[in-house]
Amino acid sequence: MRDLDEVGTMTDILVEYEQGDRFRITVRGHELVVDQPLDDGGGDDGPTPVEVFVAGLASCVAYYAGHYLRRHDIPVEGLAVECDFAFAEDRPARVGRVTLRIIVPEGFPEGRRAGLLAVAEHCTVHNSIRQAPEVAMTVEVQGVPPAGLEPAHPAPEAGALSTELRGLATEV
């Protein structure tokens, strides 16, 4: 597995079916299980993919906040990011609101609040939500060599994701 190729593309995240609604994610040798809550028919063996998505944002904000504190010689112990989210009420199904609260250690200098917020608001995950990435999706059959990928399409408007299913008739 590669981590970063010569043009800066992260690769080799694998998500494999285990049972029920449970999937195992492998990233750089680390593993994480995602599942659905019992109330939704899952085994509740891990967070949902949406919870991992939102936790990714919160942990990215925490990382940037911690880096900011260290750069300004402010203690990092006690730093936390609390987060809640809600689904959008309309379609398509998606997260409609995320609220993040950066909890700073006691004695945090008031004059650093705006700077910390400016840095945290520009974490990589937040930037990726605000300026949506190109998303290409294909369907491949096990044991059949994949067809060549076609050139990527331009990124959609901010906040929108596009997917393309090549040669697949879908029914809803």
Kindly report the CATH number assigned to the domain that includes residue 68: 3.30.300.20
Same domain, 41 and 53: no
Decide if pLDDT at 72 tops 50: yes
SS3 category, 113: helix
Among the listed ranges 16-25, 65-74, 125-134, 136-145, which one has the minimum average pLDDT value? 136-145
pTM of the model: 0.79
Using pLDDT thresholds of 50, 70 and 90, give the confidence band for residue 169. very low
Does one domain contain both 157 and 112? no
Contact present, 56 and 13 (Cβ < 8 Å)? no
pLDDT of 153 over the 60 cut: no
Query: pLDDT for 81-123, tens place per residue?
Result: 999 999 999 999 999 999 999 999 999 999 999 999 999 999 9
Phi, psi of 5 (to 5 degrees): -90, 180
Task: List the end-to-end C-alpha distance of the chain, in Å, as a whole number.
Answer: 35
For the chain, the maximum distance between any two Cα atoms, rounded to a whole number of angstroms, is 60
Whether pLDDT at 6 is above 60: no
42 or 160, which is more confident: 42
Do 124 and 51 share a structural domain? yes
Is 91 in the same domain as 125? Answer: yes
Same domain, 30 and 100: no
CB 55 within 8 Å of CB 83: yes
pLDDT of the residue at 67 = 98
Three-state SS letters, 129-150? HHCCCCCCCCCCCCCCCCCCCC
36 lies in the same domain as 108: no
Domain extent at residue 145: 134-172
Query: Do 113 and 60 fall within a single domain?
Result: yes
Number of structural domains in the chain: 3
Instruction: Specify whether 59 is located in the same domain as 108.
Output: yes
Q: How confident is the model at residue 61 (pLDDT cuts 50, 70, 90)?
A: very high
The pLDDT of residue 101: 98
* pLDDT reported for residue 18: 98
Residue 144 has φ and ψ, to the nearest 5°, of -110, 125
Both tokens of 100, joined, read 């993040």
Examine the pLDDT at 10 and tell me if it is beyond 60: yes
| 120 and 146 together in one domain | no
Do 125 and 60 share a domain, yes or no?
Answer: yes
